[in-house]
Amino acid sequence: MAPILSIRDLRKSYDGGFEALKGVSLDIEEGEIIALLGPNGAGKTTLISTVCGITMPTSGSVTVAGFDILDNYRQARALIGLVPQEIALEPFEKVINTVRFSRGLFGKGRKDTAVEDILKRLSLWDKRDAQIRELSGGMKRRVLIAKALAHEPRVLFLDEPTAGVDVELRKDMWEIVEQLRNDGVTTILTTHYIEEAEAIADRVGVINKGEILLVEDKDKLVARMGQKQLDVQLTTHLEAIPEALASYDLSLEGDGWTLVYRYDTKAERTGITKLLNDVSAAGLQLKDVVTRQSSLEDIFVSLVREAPENAA
């Protein structure tokens, strides 16, 4: 199946010469939830703004369901909903009117049942006649989501939806995203909370300094996280893994000075005792033994730090 969103070598330089996106390529499948992780200034918002038409790309291409965002901007944008990072709402307007406005703006005719459905889903129906300025911050965020959903988009961008939001609302937000997935809506969210990516995303992309460093299934990342690594540092240099240890899933690293053993911490038996016995039985002298656990955060931090060497 063709991806619903296809970004090819997207670059964006601002007038001052700052290069916010340095050739980003990304394919997103219909119905998935992808989280883009990255520190402040990584280019997350610029990426979203460019796809949504708020800023113009310097080069590269983006298609939404096959529609180019420049040549077929009407068809492309009609499929996209955007929830911006900052709360930006007309303070004196009623909730229901701003949602109606959004629906009309995106070319959909007035349909009160659709607006009602969205407001109810976001627990805003009771507040429909309230002026926006009377609402709490959390309610305002819900209004932003309602506006983004007003035209029934196929792709939803959430730019740091839970920044500065309390725990309860964050959970609600995740639930809403999950519901949308059931309706087949593709969601792209940016965040710098790793637990958020873990909680709702199918895939996680790491972005820093205008480059995508990694895109991987969350489950694989989490599996990596549940793994522990035992580094057996040797006093002698090895060319290959000794025959006696072939039954273990070992790798030789550090120019042959370290045997690396990966094991699942959740397993009943980790096999460490047997391995170490067999290592000494094979006549190898141990210099040191180190165990390490890699978390998503470690992966994230190391990727962000080691860019651009690690960019490949």
Partner 1 sequence: MNWSAIRAIYVFEMARFFRTIAQSLISPVLSTSLYFVVFGAAIGSRIQEVDGVSYGAFIVPGLVMLTVMTQAISNASFGIYFPKFIGTIYELLSAPVSFIEIVLGYVGAAATKSMFIGVIILITSFFFVDITIAHPLAMVAFLVLTCISFALMGFIIGIWAGNFEQLQLVPLLIVTPLVFLGGSFYSISMLPPVWQTISMFNPVVYLISGFRWAFFGLADVPIATSLLAIAAFTALCLGTVWWIFKTGWRIRQ
What does the binding site for partner 1 look like in residue numbers (CB under 8 A)? 14-15, 52-56, 73-78, 80, 82, 84, 86, 88-93, 97, 100-109, 147
**Smaller CB separation from partner 1, 119 or 206:** 119
Q: How far is the CB of 13 from partner 1 (least distance, A)?
A: 10
Q: How far is the CB of 37 from partner 1 (least distance, A)?
A: 23
**Smaller CB separation from partner 1, 27 or 90:** 90
**Smaller CB separation from partner 1, 57 or 205:** 57
Nearest residue to 187 (alpha-carbon basis) of 171, 169, 205: 205
Q: How far is the CB of 81 from partner 1 (least distance, A)?
A: 9
**Smaller CB separation from partner 1, 79 or 212:** 79
**Smaller CB separation from partner 1, 161 or 300:** 161
Residue 85 CB partners (closer than 8 Å, separation 6+): 45, 159, 160, 163
Q: How far is the CB of 39 from partner 1 (least distance, A)?
A: 22
Q: How far is the CB of 309 from partner 1 (least distance, A)?
A: 31
Q: For residue 95, which amino acid is it? A: V
Q: How far is the CB of 241 from partner 1 (least distance, A)?
A: 56
Q: How far is the CB of 221 from partner 1 (least distance, A)?
A: 31
| Residue 192 and residue 4 in contact, taking contact as beta carbons nearer than 8 Å | no
136-144: long-range pairs with CB below 8 Å, 24+: 137/87, 137/164, 137/165, 138/165, 138/166, 138/169, 140/87, 140/89, 141/83, 141/87, 141/165, 141/169, 141/173, 143/89, 143/95, 143/98, 143/99, 144/83, 144/84, 144/87, 144/88, 144/89
**Tokens for 238?**
């090895």
Angle, helices 218-226 vs 296-306, to 10°: value is 110
Chain centroid, CA 137 distance in Å:
24
**Smaller CB separation from partner 1, 18 or 249:** 18
**Smaller CB separation from partner 1, 111 or 292:** 111
3-state secondary structure string, 72-109?
CHHHHHHCEEEECCCCCCCCCCEHHHHHHHHHHHCCCC
Nearest residue to 262 (alpha-carbon basis) of 302, 228, 293: 228
